[in-house]
Structure 1
Amino acid sequence: MPLDFDALIQDVSPESLKAAMKQGLAESGVSVDTREGSYTDLLYSQAAYQIYRGLAYHPTLLAAAVPSEESGPYLDRFGDMYGLHRTPSATAYVVLTFTGDEGSVIPKGTVAVSASGLRFTTDLAAAITDGTAQVPATAEQPGEIYNVEVGTVTRLAVSLAGIDQVTNETPGEGGADKESDASFYDRIHTFLSEPVASGNINHYKQWARSVSGVGNAAVIPLWNGNGTVKVVIASEEKEPLDELIVTQVAQYIESVRPIGAQVTVVSAQALSIDVEATCTLEGGVLPGTVQKELEEKLRAMLLEMEMGAQEPVRYVRIMAMLLFCRGVVDCSSLTVNGGTENIPVTMEQVPVLGTVSIRAG
């Protein structure tokens, strides 16, 4: 008897299952009281509910049996079969600059806090010399959010005698979130569909993406002559990475690469995509509403573009997206990075959304 796979995707409810059982009983010719509240009705209600619960597990069982972005912990088990593991979160570091009275002591373990409440703990004891002291500090918890911008760590959790202020003159580096289901599934799929061997291009991509924080990689073979390889890396969101992660990738590849290869690892460079347009809008539609919708579409488009493929950002595609935004009747002017042509993207660049400006006219 062939399996009925369509039955797995049928929409059912306890009520529809109960109705089917009552219909089957009626068609059998047996005369039984099935009115609501009767003994038979209660039995059918419980049986229908339990059957419904069993059928509700089918999507979960399917996700466990057939790996996808929806497989959750089963995706990790599937990756284990091939020696692939989800990259863990990583902790960020920052150098804090303290100013104050000469000789004032900054104990090890001093906590400094950013404007958004992120906490960093100093790794060493230090003292103010010539008015300042620079002290390395570690984020309280792992995560990309701790890669703070310059000048955002500005206060102490507990005041210290002789210390006037604290700040970070360089950004936080090295923080990374745990690899997402989408990224890990993509890496498993890439591993199975793009075989690796003896340091080929796929091998370098796999090595790069095995480091926390790296979600995308492109490889340029023979970029500076025989035996040279350049690896360009970016985050899951196809954004540039800090130098600490670049160094970690370079060190890891150096430990596993074939003998003789000269490998250079760099972060992808951000290519800002700025859009300006003048549109005829339906009555009551605000330019800000169109701008928000177009921004969402552009972010999705840029994220879908394959890193290293040198595919240009296409002007006509942006025009089509704009014309399909709700409330847009026509577009009299559209510029992308100040022009009306495709924007070329090199292997070392990742296009990122810059400014979007929509005017009614």
Structure 2
Amino acid sequence: MPFNVPTLRQLIESGLIDIEASLDTLLPKFGIEQALNASVSGSIRDLYDYQTWIVRQIIPSSESEDQTIIDTARYEGVLQKLASNAFGPVTFTGDVPIPVDTVMTHSDGRLYRVTLSNAPSGGTVVVQVEAEDAGVAGNLDSGQTLTLVSTVPGIQPNGITGEISGGADIEPVAQVLERLLFRKRNPPMGGALHDYVAWCREVSGVTRAWCIDLYQGPATVGYAFVYDERADIIPTYTDQVAMTDYIYRHPDPATGTDVGRPGGIEAVYIPLQLKETDLGITISPDSSDLRQSVKTSIEGYFKTLSPGSTLKLSSVRTAIGSTPGVDDYVLDLSANVPALSSELHALGVITWGTM
């Protein structure tokens, strides 16, 4: 049966009863006994709180301390993913090499440093750059402009980026806990379907992954993954190539032992397409904070969906109606929304109405 931790008031009252019973007298309203009882009861309450804290650390959960989750996950072989720097190619017009460590800047102030410079060819020079600061903010789409901070003779100052990706923020503790629980429930099996999911989610920035058996027939598996922290969550070509190499063979983050797909199995990347659903919602009472809470709740439901699953009207309604503070609402979605096996549901634009 559950143990109910007594409140401070209950401890004080219980202490008074014990003292009066021992002294066989009624204590005065103010006195040394009352003061001592209050002090001892407060100390006992602190011990209860400490024991409650210990209980929350024994089995990692959302109520555990962040460091407890990180340490326990490390012990189980799930390491928190550190922030990573974005990298990719930039093309400049010129006829001389660009020195390594040359710095260039984006119009918004982001800095990038040359890590590899190729020889000039056909009047252009292609260099590999890396973002100075780690994090998802360093990613850039193709076709953007980077400008040399210092002039390089023989090189035009403005370069055009290719696909600069791979930047990711440090993994939130909540995701570390989720991966820890996934590993506890799905121990490594050397190539089971859940191993592919775990391998994908070990890569910096990857937040969700899926695996399908017999994707293109016997001895094949299909896998897909997304980056929820990016504006475009679908992996770039660079991400796909890097993931293919990682799944083929990589050192286990905890042991350093090479692991990867078993021989004779072909792992095939599943190119996902986003199936966006726009919603019209009217809530009562209406406020900007409550709108944000409702949006967060709906996004949480969307993130539980797998490729090819059905977006359920009842679940969207539950996500809205269960948001604290919502008394009433109107939703324009009137039916479930199916998806193809290569489609992943994503929340589109929410149009907010007024009652």
Equivalence for 1:193: 185
Specify which of 148, 151, 155 is matched with residue 160 of structure 1: 151
Specify which of 314, 325, 329 is matched with residue 312 of structure 2: 314
Cα distance in 1 between the residues matched to 2:56 and 2:188 = 26
Does residue 349 of structure 2 align to residue 352 of structure 1? no
Q: Pick closer, same or farther for the CA change 1:330–1:345 going to 2, 3 Å.
A: closer
Please list every run of 5 or more consecutive structure 2 residues that lacks an aligned counterpart in the other structure: 250-259
What's the TM-score once normalised by structure 1's chain length?
Answer: 0.74
Cα distance in 1 between the residues matched to 2:143 and 2:43 = 59
Equivalence for 1:218: 210
Equivalence for 2:257: none
Range moving further from structure 2, 26-35 or 179-188: 26-35
Cα distance in 2 between the residues matched to 1:320 and 1:184 = 27
Give the C-alpha shift of residue 232 in structure 1.
1.0
Cα distance in 1 between the residues matched to 2:176 and 2:135 = 17
What are the residue-to-residue correspondences of 1:111-260 with 2, within 5 Å?
Answer: 111-124=103-116, 133-150=125-142, 154-155=146-147, 158-160=149-151, 165-166=157-158, 168-235=160-227, 239-255=233-249, 256-260=260-264
What's the TM-score once normalised by structure 2's chain length?
Answer: 0.76
Q: What amino acid maps onto 1:201 in structure 2?
A: L
Q: Pick closer, same or farther for the CA change 1:129–1:222 going to 2, 3 Å.
A: closer
Equivalence for 2:40: 47
Does residue 81 of structure 2 align to residue 78 of structure 1? no
Q: What amino acid maps onto 2:263 in structure 1?
A: I
Q: Pick closer, same or farther for the CA change 1:159–1:184 going to 2, 3 Å.
A: same
Cα distance in 2 between the residues matched to 1:301 and 1:356 = 15
Q: Pick closer, same or farther for the CA change 1:342–1:21 going to 2, 3 Å.
A: same
Q: Pick closer, same or farther for the CA change 1:104–1:263 going to 2, 3 Å.
A: closer
Give the C-alpha shift of residue 358 in structure 1.
3.1
Q: Pick closer, same or farther for the CA change 1:119–1:227 going to 2, 3 Å.
A: same
Q: Pick closer, same or farther for the CA change 1:152–1:31 going to 2, 3 Å.
A: farther
Range moving further from structure 2, 192-201 or 136-145: 192-201
- Contact residue 273 and residue 354 of structure 1 kept, 8 A: yes
Give the C-alpha shift of residue 25 in structure 1.
2.0
Give the C-alpha shift of residue 127 in structure 1.
8.9
Determine helix, strand or coil for the equivalent of 2:4: helix
Cα distance in 2 between the residues matched to 1:46 and 1:112 = 64
- Contact residue 219 and residue 265 of structure 2 kept, 8 A: yes
* Identity %, equivalent residues: 20
Give the C-alpha shift of residue 120 in structure 1.
2.0
Deviation sequence 1:188-231 (CA, Å, 0-9, x none): 32333335535222222222223222232211222222212211
Deviation sequence 1:8-35 (CA, Å, 0-9, x none): 4x5x34x664454344323433669776
Aligned residues: 339
Please list every run of 5 or more consecutive structure 1 residues that lacks an aligned counterpart in the other structure: none
Q: What amino acid maps onto 1:271 in structure 2?
A: K
Cα distance in 2 between the residues matched to 1:119 and 1:34 = 73
- Contact residue 301 and residue 315 of structure 2 kept, 8 A: no
Task: Quote the RMSD (CA, aligned, Å).
Answer: 3.9
Q: What amino acid maps onto 1:67 in structure 2?
A: P
Does residue 118 of structure 2 align to residue 108 of structure 1? no
Give the C-alpha shift of residue 175 in structure 1.
1.7
Specify which of 35, 52, 60 is matched with residue 53 of structure 2: 60
Equivalence for 1:301: 301
Cα distance in 1 between the residues matched to 2:189 and 2:15 = 58
Deviation sequence 1:127-181 (CA, Å, 0-9, x none): 988775432211223322322345666555x443667654553343112233333
Specify which of 259, 263, 269 is matched with residue 267 of structure 2: 263
- Contact residue 95 and residue 125 of structure 2 kept, 8 A: no
- Contact residue 103 and residue 150 of structure 2 kept, 8 A: no
Cα distance in 2 between the residues matched to 1:115 and 1:328 = 45
Cα distance in 2 between the residues matched to 1:233 and 1:60 = 36
Determine helix, strand or coil for the equivalent of 2:166: coil
Give the C-alpha shift of residue 352 in structure 1.
1.8
Cα distance in 1 between the residues matched to 2:168 and 2:63 = 22
